[in-house]
Structure 1
Amino acid sequence: MQKVYSKIESIAGNVISVRAEGVRYGELATVQSKYGTSLAEVIRLSNDLVSLQVYSGGRGVSTGDEVRFLGHPMQISFSENLLGRIFTGSGEPRDGGPALHENLIEIGGPSVNPAKRIIPRNMIRTGIPMIDMFNTLVESQKLPIFSVSGEPYNDLLARIALQAEVDMIILGGIGLKHDDYLTFREQLENGGAMSRTIFFVHTAADPVVEALMVPDISLAVAERFALQGKKVLVLLTDMTNFADAMKEIAITMEQVPSNRGYPGDLYSQLASRYEKAVDFEGAGSITVLGATTMPGDDVTHPVPDNTGYITEGQYYLRNGRIEPFGSLSRLKQLVNGDTRSDHRAVMDAMIRLYAASKETNEKKSMGFRMSEWDDKLLKYGELFEANMMDLSVNISLEEALDLGWKTLAECFSPAETGISTALVEQYWPKEFAAAAEK
């Protein structure tokens, strides 16, 4: 039964308070003001005093307006009709299409029972060498992309959405600039990926409370599709905007702030979203990639710092490239032994030699005399950055491994690579084989 109240006790920004009984945390309500009807969500309970966040803001709301509690939390329609559609953070159509109301499901439920999870066993190919070859993305993994403002992390997510070998993409935009939203939409439509994509978008101009709902809506829909056997990749950007929205609401609610003003439950709030990544036995999977900007390139900032304790590694995006040092996929060893016999050996050798080339670059900048070995390392470093680190490179894992062998062969002899003789005999490029024998 819906409960209706016609007296609002207080209005503070987007938060209103009423006295009511039998109301649950997270329950939805409607607020009828002179500007029309707006949804609101219960965000605090103190005895019979109920605080609600009004989605459309507190402008125009007066103390005599009607508040009607709906008796259920936020819900979203679930069906195949979601595919190819764009919605707001509250689940309303943003693309001019019809509203969907059938088969409503609740959002923000608990994480999957650990007993229902299985050990990750499949890689997700993206066509990006720095991911596929060096830090493999694994099905059901949760990984952040640590970056700073100005880096092309949204372009990287769009490219992953276009190229990832999964059944469907759910893209959750949080605090997006309108230009970024249009760019995502254009790239997905032009790339032919919109038909397998569901886009929930909250822009910087939308109500702040909708920013908190985007991950929950995205993951609730992803879970239902995964239970139907779909391999779902959830892309979230930007999780720092999500945390900032939490911070703004916590300040409005006069909560005691924690580190840098963020609420004390920041870790658990982030974890409850990332932990939705799962591989269901006998069904599909959910893989989560979340862009996380680091203010001032500070990895000790509360958002990336807490995220690092939750996720299974991270990608660092700097200077338009995924950095090989610092980037880590902790689950890659579960799958890269089953791709091709030379995968691990080539990966290890190339990273080791690239680290040596970086040291040689430092020596050169300090005026040290370069030896023949140093010259080889400098040449190799340039080739590695052009062939592997450039995000415009779009090749399969097998092509990346072959290109890795060619890059090594252009700079070193087989013995200098440290790769086993058996693998060298099998994979060393034929055009360099004669020179290697000499």
Structure 2
Amino acid sequence: MNLSRRTRVATAVAGAAAFALLATGCSSGGGSNGSGDSGGDITLTVTTFGTMGFDDLYQEYEDAHPGITIKATNIDTGDNARTDWQTKVAAGSGLPDVQAVEEGWLGLVMQVSDQFNDLSDYGADEIKDRWVPWKLQQATDPDGRIIGYGTDIGPEGLCYNGKLFEQAGLPSDRESVAALFGGADATWDQFFAVGKQYHEATGKAFYDHSGFVWNAMVNQQPEGYYTKDGDLNVEDNANLKALWAQLADGAATGLSDNQTAWDWGGGKAFTDGSFATFMCPGWMLGVVKGQVTAGGGDATTGWDFADVFPGGPANWGGSFLTVPTQSKHPKEAAELAQWMTDPAQQAKAFQAAGVFPSTTEAQADPGVTGESDLTKFFNNAPIGEILAKRAEGVAAQFKGPDDSIIQSQVFGPSIQELDSGKADGTQAWKDAMDLLDQLVVNK
């Protein structure tokens, strides 16, 4: 079955679930209302998702650019943002002037890259050395068009609760915790071994749920759900099967708390000792802080951040700001996207949400390497320095068109089966392959 680019997007939209949009506070400067423009003023619409650290930047941009009003919408998760984008692409209308795109669905975006402006027409070639090379490469389509300005990257470290580690008789200072998991030679074998030790001492789970562990495992592979040539790489992938067996064993021995991703009981699971470790790319640090706060906790709850990650370097996520061709103000939209991803703004976004910069200058900025509310929350951990170390050795994995669908809709239900005890590893893998056949077309 051979589908065109546009048909594939429309087909993917047809099965999408409903979702909720969370609107951010919109600024009132510039003298225009809604999405219309009046008196020569311009309203630029921006759609983002999750916690990107942009909220305070919109007003700053308006103050420096009289006549520009920013109307911002933030969607709760990257998956729901993908659905929103797909729906509007299929309809041929409704896309914003600046659209945030997540790494996991960049492959799908590249299939319709002609629906995005080439930012080289607006100065991208003059600033392309800002970013780590692989970030710019990700946002360059097969025709050499740069369709996105990189925001953050997602090098992963390990969040852990030092108080819970102490209660289990484990070391709690960052250096000792890193050594406990193997330091530079940390493996998943050692991670699960320490987890079993923790579980035996406390009777409690070691991590919140298996989904984020699985995501990290997959992202560490030279090739994930797709080969570098763009072919599906799941069903007979021996590496993935071996990792799945480890994941299944961990769940079967009580290491997973079977939490619901992006919920965690309104944050209570982060404060009541339900689990002791958490997979943390830079952008997730702000999520952890927010969940702990929502659950009634604070810096004294005990969460910390260690310079170690099982299996070696891993990158989870990272986003781009694009300018769809639907924009009526592509020049102004490109200028806004360029400014939002400038090193100075990336440093501010890091301060606000822990999103680690993709520009090399920002990675060395005192706003990234120094103290912040986030570092204070994580027991004065040198977060920027740790993330810079965790970014060493990271290689961009090719993400195919249905990469995020495979992660969330193919493996998601089977991971829930593992965590709930409804299926063992063999059956859960089989169930995932059945979903793969139903949801993903191998080209």
TM-score, normalised to structure 1, is 0.30
Scaled by the length of structure 2, what TM-score is found?
0.29
Greater RCO structure (CA 8 Å; 6+ sep): 2
Q: Whose helix fraction is larger, Structure 1's or Structure 2's?
A: 2
Structure having the larger proportion of residues in strand: 1
